[in-house]
Structure 1
Amino acid sequence: MSSAVVALLSILGVVVGAFLQNYLAKQNNESKQLLDSRNQAYVDFLEAVSLVVAAQRLGKKEQEIEQLARLTHAKARICIFGEESVVRKLASFWAAGASLETESEILAFTRFCLDIRRSLGLKDKELLIGEVSQLLFAIKPPRS
């Protein structure tokens, strides 16, 4: 093989390698940005739920309204960035009433939280619904 062909193949290899590296880096960056947006939406939603409930229990209407706005914003971002299963569980929680006052609402919220865990790649060996309900609401529902 002539040195010109070897040089041409070397240059071609470098160019293809650079394009491939750029493409993979871009894909990785887009995935990371989506994951960051998703995680922030989840955190903001959970924080807003806690603050809404606290404001309701303390009778602070102005704070409740402010946190409801944050909650709505985070809910919208979950609808945009969230995994399909998480969006479905959020819709189930909302359909159940979304006030965290009844057993069905609490169970729907707990399932929503567990689905967030799964969407983040956490592989639980057992269903943690009892433990999560105990930690969030000081109740332990029967295993289903």
Structure 2
Amino acid sequence: MTITMAAIFSLIAGLIGAVFGHVLSEKKSRNDELAKMRLDAYSDFLKAISFLVSARRSGRIQDEISELGALNDAKSRICVCADAGVVEALEGFWLQGGTLEKEQEILAYTRLCRMMRQSLGKDDLSLEIRLSDILFRLEPSTFSYRRKVDEG
């Protein structure tokens, strides 16, 4: 009788372990897929914004429909799969104008980048790191092609 009970308990414990393992595996798989979707949405958004900002800074003010489509697609995916803090930061950036032409837009974009980084599990950057300078200084301070032109 005790051998039978031990076998039954062992079978039940094995089934519970298998079900528990399956549930955890499925949850991890869903989380991995969501993290990939989130990273892809962030990457596509950053790429689309970079294209539009570069076009504006080079003097082109008419946006291409394909560029706007890519931007809106990425924004939509961020709204669907990102953490609440990222969506709020995206809203703040977009309501500021979304063109990176004014200081408040640059600050909002910097906040958005920090929130994206945080949502991906990266350590929060210290305030000493001047993320705005990294993001918006178009050429390194030691870039010297102008000196070569002036000297030549």
TM-score with structure 1 setting the length: 0.86
Name the counterpart of 2:60: 59
Name the counterpart of 1:142: none
Is the contact between residue 45 and residue 74 of structure 2 (CA under 8 Å) also seen in structure 1? Answer: yes
Q: How does 1:73-112 map to 2 (within 5 A)?
A: 73-112=73-112
Could you list the structure 1 runs, at least 4 aligned residues long, displaced by more than 4 angstroms after superposition.
none
Separation in 1, partners of 2:125, 2:117 = 12
Name the counterpart of 2:147: none
1:2-37: CA deviation from partner (whole Å, max 9, x where unpaired) = 211111111111111111100110111111111111
Q: Which has the larger radius of gyration?
A: 2
Separation in 1, partners of 2:37, 2:54 = 26
Query: Percent same amino acid among aligned pairs?
Result: 37
SS of structure 2 residue aligned to 1:45:
helix
Between stretches 53-62 and 39-48, larger displacement belongs to: 53-62
> What is the Cα deviation at residue 58 of structure 1?
5.7
Name the counterpart of 1:72: 72
SS of structure 2 residue aligned to 1:23:
helix
Name stretches of at least 5 consecutive residues in structure 1 with no aligned partner: 140-144
Separation in 2, partners of 1:2, 1:111 = 64
> What is the Cα deviation at residue 124 of structure 1?
2.8
Kindly tell me the number of residue pairs found equivalent between the two proteins: 137
Larger RCO: 1 or 2 (CA < 8 Å, sep 6+):
2
SS of structure 2 residue aligned to 1:99:
coil
1:18-69: CA deviation from partner (whole Å, max 9, x where unpaired) = 111001101111111111111111111001101122233263857x331111
Q: Given residue 95 of structure 1, which amino acid in structure 2 is its aligned partner? A: L
Distance 1:44 1:84, change over 3 A: same
